[in-house]
Amino acid sequence: MSTDTTTNITWGIMNYLIYFDESNKIDQFNKEYSYYGAFGGFDTSLAKLVKKVGQIYKENNSVSELHFTEYKSDNNVKNFFQVLHSVLQENIRINILIVNNKDALRAADNIGLSTKELRNLFYIKIPERLFYGITRDLFSYVSKEETVNVKIKIDCNDEYDNLDLNKKLIEQMNSHSAYRNKNYRVNKVISQDS
């Protein structure tokens, strides 16, 4: 292994981590939009980020996670901006998809899909598209001769388990990599509490 001093990347096998979560389900009919998001980064960048966020929490005497849905007062605004600033300083890729629930349900109805069938299709297609968007440029950061091991973490969800989403995402992502000669391999998709 050697190191490129201009980018601080060690040549060899790189580890890349991707996290996925969603907010508002398409069949929560009181919600206008569903939000799907993924972010990814090399393990070294994410380790630095976790350390910085921990320091921010310590400096601001904060013990809770930063959930925008729980943002109810300006008391935590400093934490939010400091964490956001830290994220933007690291080599992190973020991909977000917003679905207009009414449009999606209308499209499903037009082709005779139930809401459950639509959700099942979305649960496979949307994460796969988000992840591919994050991984397609990995080799702008590393040499084409290197292999990048990718590990994906998704939120714990019984519906994901029932669809065998973990296995399907591994197949889809490795299919993209082989077909497009991207030289990454998804070795693991695990469920983790968001």
Angular region, 183: left φ>0, alpha ψ -120 to 50, beta rest: left
Looking at the DSSP assignment, which residues form a beta bridge with residue 189?
Answer: 152
pLDDT number for residue 54? 85
Q: Where are the domains of the chain?
A: 3-192
pLDDT at residue 11 tops 80: no
**How is the chain split among helix, strand and coil, in percent rounded to 5?**
45, 25, 25
State the fold for domain 3-192: Nucleotidyltransferase; domain 5 (3.30.420)
CA distances from 55 to 47, 49, 85, 87, 193 (A): 13, 10, 13, 13, 22
Would you say 172 and 186 are in contact if contact means Cβ atoms under 8 Å apart?
no
Instruction: Tell me what pLDDT residue 190 has.
Output: 92
Amino acid occupying residue 155: D
Let me know: does 122 contact 103? Beta carbons within 8 Å: no
Which pLDDT value is given to residue 64?
A: 62
Residue 127 has pLDDT above 80, yes or no: yes
Residue 81, pLDDT > 50, answer: yes
User: Phi then psi for 63, rounded to 5 degrees?
Assistant: -120, -10
156-191 pLDDT, tens digit per residue, is 888 888 889 999 999 999 999 999 888 899 999 998
Cα 62 to its chain centre, rounded Å, is 25
At 99 the pLDDT is 93
* Mean pLDDT computed over every residue of the chain: 82
> Which tens digit of pLDDT belongs to each residue from 21-80?
888 878 776 788 999 999 999 998 889 888 988 888 888 777 666 655 555 666 667 777
